[in-house]
Amino acid sequence: MNFLSRTISGTVAGLIVSALFSATVHAAGLMTPVRGNLPQLSIREHHVDVVIEDGYAITTVEQVFANPHDDALEAIYSFPVPQKAAVGEFTYWIDGKPVTGEVLEKQAARDLYEQEKAQGRQAALTEKDEYRTFDISVYPVLPNNDVRIRLVYIQPVHTDLGIGRYVYPLQEGGVDERRMNFWTYNSTVEEAFSFNLQMRSSYPVDEFRLPAHPQVMVQEQSPQDWRLSFGNQQAKDSIEEGDTGGQVLASHNLDEDIVVYWRHAQGLPGAVDLVTHREEGEKRGTFMLTVTPGDDLGLLEQGRDWVFVLDYSGSMAGKYQTLVEGVREGLDKLSERDRFQIILFNNGVREVTSGYVPVNQQNVERYIRELEAITPDGGTNLYAGLQRGYRLLDADRPSAVILVTDGVANVGVTERKDFLRLLEKHDVRLFSFVMGNSANRPLLEGMATLSNGFSVNVSNNDDIGGLLVQAADKLKYESYRDVEVKFSGIKVKELAPERIGSLYRGQQIILFGHYWGDGPAKVTVGGKVLGENRTYTSELDFPKVMERNPELERLWAYAAIEDLQNRIDYLGTDADSRQAITDIALEYDLVTNYTSMIVVAEDVFEAQGIDRSNKTRVEEEASARKQRAAQPVKAHRQDSTTPAFGNSSRAYPSNGAGSVGLFGVLLLLPLLLLTRSRRA
Partner 1 sequence: MLTMALCVAAILFHVMPESVRELFYFDAGQLRAGSLGGLVFSHWLHVDWPHLAWNVAALALLGGMLELQSRALFCASLMVGTVAVDVLLLSPLSEVERYCGLSGVLNAVLGCLLYVVWLRTRSRIVIAVAALALSKIMVEMVYQESLFTEIAWPPYPAAHLAGVLAAVILCVIVHWGLSAKGNKTKGLRIGGLTIRSTG
Residues that bind partner 1 (CB under 8 A): 1-4, 6-8, 11, 206-207, 209, 211, 220, 266-267, 333, 463, 465-466, 469, 653-665, 667-672, 674-675, 678
Could you tell me which of 595, 591, 582, 514 has the C-alpha nearest to residue 552? Answer: 514
CA–CA distance, 109 with 497 (Å, rounded to integer): 29
Shortest Cβ 3–partner 1 spacing (Å): 5
> In angstroms, how far apart are the furthest CA atoms of the chain?
106
Shortest Cβ 655–partner 1 spacing (Å): 5
Shortest Cβ 58–partner 1 spacing (Å): 27
CA–CA distance, 50 with 230 (Å, rounded to integer): 12
Shortest Cβ 530–partner 1 spacing (Å): 18
Q: Is 54 helix (H, G, I), strand (E, B) or coil?
A: coil
Cite the DSSP H helix spans in 240-395: 320-332, 361-372, 382-391
CA–CA distance, 396 with 409 (Å, rounded to integer): 31
Are residues 432 and 459 in contact, defined by beta-carbon separation less than 8 angstroms? no
Residue 438 vs 459, nearer CB to partner 1: 459
CA–CA distance, 646 with 294 (Å, rounded to integer): 8
Cite the DSSP H helix spans in 536-574: 551-571
Residue 447 vs 468, nearer CB to partner 1: 468
Shortest Cβ 71–partner 1 spacing (Å): 49
The 8-class DSSP code of residue 337 comes to T
Shortest Cβ 656–partner 1 spacing (Å): 3
Shortest Cβ 643–partner 1 spacing (Å): 16
Residue 218 vs 357, nearer CB to partner 1: 218
DSSP labels for 94-157? ETTEEEE-EEEEHHHHHHHHHHHHHTT--EEEEEEETTTEEEEEEEEE-TTEEEEEEEEEEEE-
CA–CA distance, 50 with 675 (Å, rounded to integer): 64
Residue 26 vs 263, nearer CB to partner 1: 263
Q: Is 660 helix (H, G, I), strand (E, B) or coil?
A: coil
Residue 62 vs 329, nearer CB to partner 1: 329
Shortest Cβ 22–partner 1 spacing (Å): 17
Residue 141 vs 271, nearer CB to partner 1: 271
Shortest Cβ 201–partner 1 spacing (Å): 16
Residue 206 vs 240, nearer CB to partner 1: 206
Shortest Cβ 212–partner 1 spacing (Å): 11
Shortest Cβ 342–partner 1 spacing (Å): 21
| Structural element, H or E, at residue 467 | helix 464-476
Residue 250 vs 657, nearer CB to partner 1: 657
* C-alpha atoms less than 13 angstroms from C-alpha of 493 in its C-beta half-sphere: 4
Residue 206 vs 574, nearer CB to partner 1: 206
Shortest Cβ 265–partner 1 spacing (Å): 9
* Cβ-based burial of 235 (10 A; exposed 0-12, middle 13-18, buried ≥19): buried
Residue 254 vs 297, nearer CB to partner 1: 297
Compute the C-alpha angle 26/90/95, nearest 5°.
110
Shortest Cβ 465–partner 1 spacing (Å): 5
Residue 6 vs 567, nearer CB to partner 1: 6
Shortest Cβ 66–partner 1 spacing (Å): 38
Shortest Cβ 453–partner 1 spacing (Å): 22
* C-alpha atoms less than 13 angstroms from C-alpha of 635 in its C-beta half-sphere: 8
The 8-class DSSP code of residue 642 comes to S
CA–CA distance, 329 with 468 (Å, rounded to integer): 12
CA–CA distance, 191 with 235 (Å, rounded to integer): 7
- Residue 322: CB atoms within 10 A of its CB come to 16
- Residue 593: CB atoms within 10 A of its CB come to 18
Residue 226 vs 512, nearer CB to partner 1: 226
- The identity of residue 450, as a single letter, is L
Residue 223 vs 489, nearer CB to partner 1: 223
Going from the C-alpha of 186 to that of each of 30, 250, 547, the distances in angstroms are: 5, 18, 42
Backbone angles phi, psi at 370, to 5 degrees: -65, -40
Strand 480-488, strand 519-529: pairing = antiparallel
Residue 12 vs 76, nearer CB to partner 1: 12
102 contact partners, CB below 8 Å, separation of at least 6: 589, 597, 598, 599, 605, 610, 611, 612, 613, 614, 615
Phi-psi region of 177 (alpha: psi -120 to 50; beta: other; left: phi over 0): alpha
Residue 296 vs 370, nearer CB to partner 1: 296
353 contact partners, CB below 8 Å, separation of at least 6: 340, 341, 342, 367
Residue 348 vs 653, nearer CB to partner 1: 653
CA–CA distance, 177 with 159 (Å, rounded to integer): 35
- The identity of residue 605, as a single letter, is F
Residue 219 vs 524, nearer CB to partner 1: 219
Shortest Cβ 651–partner 1 spacing (Å): 10
Shortest Cβ 503–partner 1 spacing (Å): 20
Q: Where are the beta strands (DSSP E) in 239-356?
A: 248-249, 252-253, 258-264, 271-277, 284-292, 305-311, 339-345, 349-351
